[in-house]
Amino acid sequence: MTPLQALQQHHQLCDELHALALEENRFLQQNQRAPEAALLERKRALLTRLDETLTALRTAEGESGNQPALRTALEKTRARILQVLQLEKENEQLLLRYSLTANRAPAPASTLLPASMLQKIYQRHT
């Protein structure tokens, strides 16, 4: 496999990861809870494939004839990776926010005594 082919395959996978991150982001914003196991399983499968494409990139045999095309593909892939990373960061923040609010105990009923009760207590002790 040439470096350009390996990079194109990697870029396609990055596009799939981006689409999944967008889907996860929409889910988190709409439902305000952690996504279902099916979405997480899809993410795990894509991450396994990501390891495979990274290995293919490392082992691809060099070909100097496609340098401009390779450089262009590399820049597109880098831009997509940055988008995925930014979305994943936002998803982590949303997930953290929603998991913290879900675990927070409901606010207790007011434990303050009514003013009249406080006045009676104060009068008893003066």
In degrees, to the nearest 5, what angle opens at C-alpha 17 toward C-alphas 98 and 33?
A: 15
Q: Is 73 helix (H, G, I), strand (E, B) or coil?
A: helix
Domain ranges of the chain: 3-105
pLDDT at position 67 is 84
Q: What is the pLDDT along the chain (126 residues), one digit of tens a residue?
A: 888 899 999 999 999 999 999 999 999 999 999 999 999 999 999 999 999 999 998 888 776 556 888 899 999 999 999 999 999 999 999 999 988 876 655 555 555 556 666 666 667 765
Query: Element (H or E) spanning 104, and its range?
Result: none
pLDDT score for 60:
83
pLDDT at 84: 96
Q: Are the beta carbons of 81 and 14 closer than 8 angstroms? A: yes
